Structure 1
Amino acid sequence: MRLFIKSNDYLLWDVIEDGTYVPLKQDGEGKMVLKKKVEMSEEERKKIQVNDKALHMLFCSFGPDIYSKVSSIESAKEVWDTLETTYEGTNDVKETKIGILNLSYENFKMEPDETVSKMFDHFSTIVNGLKGFGEIIPEDKLVRKLLYSLPESWDGKRTAIIEAKNLKTLKLDELVGSLLTHEIMKQ
């Protein structure tokens, strides 16, 4: 959803992340108070309208169940924060999920009866889960992790790849392609 909103208008995403613009003025006592609608400039009205556009985009993307939970909220940021808490959990829950994903990544091994495709699907699920929480692993580390997760029966192929390729520049999809080719040849 982030990408969809950013690709339509980056200002919408700014409002969702940072909150809506609040037009303020100083009253006679020096306190900051909310401007009345008639006191707002055209530019201030446009800044406020961005929140409404962001809300509209969010609301249009929800099904009835989600919409009913957030339809009364007037701030795009509050809607987003509510969704994050509802579907990703509190910070403690997020940290727990990240910990579990990191443990899954560290302990990742290809099962002896697993195909390369299944193994890569499982690996991608873990890596994408971490990425969703902002934990981005450099591609060269992913390549090494995948290579060293292969079972002993793949030692020859692993050694051949290590000797023939530069693991710092080898792309993950190239590695998987090579492993798939080897798997087909073994059959």
Structure 2
Amino acid sequence: MASNSGSNIYESQSITKPSFFNGDNYPYWKNSMMLFIKSNDYQVWDVVEDGSFIPIKREGDRLIPKVKMEMTDDDRRRMQVNDKALHMLFCALGPDMYSKMSSYTSAKEVWDTLETTYEGTNDVKETKIGLLNLSYENFKMEPDENVTKMFDRFSVIVNGLKGFGEIIPEDKLVRKLLYSLPESWDSKRTAIIEAKDLKTLKLDALMGSLLTHEIMKQGREDEKKREENKLEKKEVEKKKIGIALKDSQEESDSSGEEDDEEMAMLAKRFTRFMKSQRGRRFQRKVDFVGVSPKTSH
């Protein structure tokens, strides 16, 4: 049953005010309201659960309700408990819900109507209880799920069962949660079982132990990643240095080849130069003696 936008059960969280309800999250509101009523006056809760007191009298063989003038002070005090219960319930209902329930004169009628409306008939309740029990039996920590999220999911199932009157003893909840952990938690699970008395271990104490282990485990994993990153950086630097040395060697080899070619070219030029110099000296000698090379014989 949807509520009006802006209306929800979280608007009035106080030890002096009941949790506000206008159609959302009935199981939560039911448990919260039940605790609120009991903490104020257990007699009020008895009226909500069992029905209001009706002053009666015997008339012959019959029991009939007393009329107003016949009621004693004790009768009025006992009847007032129902009015107190009605007042608590109506203070917790939003305008839409109040308009649907305001015609009832018994706190039990209001409570039972809300249960039927938001939990369904007995058949519907049994179906919901069956589904919650199935979720409980098959409960396991999901992959990549942290301890907090796992516990929140577990609490929703357990509180849902509690809302239907299915209360699971705490020692069974502790064992169920422990054995819902994956294989990677085997060492921690074994350590808890060996060090703790599971019959007296509280859920919040178990949660504290699991959270501490998770934080330490995450710290070790983070340190391992940092070391791996350092090694990767070193490998990258080595590769960079190797590539730089290779490029330098190739440049050196290329430069050497260019130098060899240049030297060869210079050598050729020098050879041509020397040949040309010898030819010129010979020609000057012939010109000096006045003899042609062809008539020298």
TM-score for the superposition, normalised by structure 2? 0.59
Residues 1:163 and 2:194 are matched in the alignment: yes
Moved more, 5-14 or 141-150: 5-14
Hey, what's the Cα distance between the residues in 2 that align with 1:177 and 1:112? 21
Matched letter for residue 157 of structure 1: K
Counterpart among 147, 154, 157 of residue 126 in structure 1: 157
Amino acid at match of 2:203: L
Bigger relative contact order (CA 8 A; separation at least 6): 1
CA distance in 2, matches of 1:21, 1:166: 46
Give the Cα–Cα distance (whole angstroms) in 1 for the partners of residues 104 and 162 of structure 2: 29
- 1:161 Cα deviation after fit: 2.1
Give the whole-Å Cα distance in 2 for the aligned partners of 1:50 and 1:157.
52
Q: Distance in 2 between matches of 1:180 and 1:163?
A: 18
Which amino acid in structure 2 is aligned with residue 149 of structure 1? S
Q: Which residue matches 1:111?
A: 142
Using the alignment, how far apart are the partners of 1:170 and 1:26 within structure 2?
Answer: 55
- Counterpart-to-counterpart distance in 2, 1:157 and 1:55: 50
Task: Give me the whole-angstrom Cα distance separating, in 1, the residues matched to 2:135 and 2:145.
Answer: 17
Q: Distance in 1 between matches of 2:131 and 2:110?
A: 27
Question: Hey, what's the Cα distance between the residues in 2 that align with 1:170 and 1:41?
Answer: 51
- TM normalised by structure 1 equals 0.91
Query: Which residue of 2 is the match for residue 185 of structure 1?
Result: 216
Give unmatched runs, 5+ long, in structure 2. Answer: 1-32, 219-297
Task: Indicate the residue corresponding to 1:81 in structure 2.
Answer: 112
What are the superposed Cα offsets for residues 24-49 of structure 1, whole Å, 9 maximum, x if unpaired? 2233x543322221122121122222
For the pair 1:43 / 2:43, whether they are aligned, the reply is: no
CA deviation map 1:95-153 (0-9, x unaligned): 11111111111000001200011111111111121122222222222121111111122
Q: State which structure, 1 or 2, has the greater radius of gyration over its C-alpha atoms.
A: 2
Match of 1:61? Answer: 92
Alignment-derived partner of residue 21 in structure 1: 53
Cα separation, partners in 2 of 1:22 and 1:109, compared to 1, 3 Å: same
1:34 maps to 2:65? yes
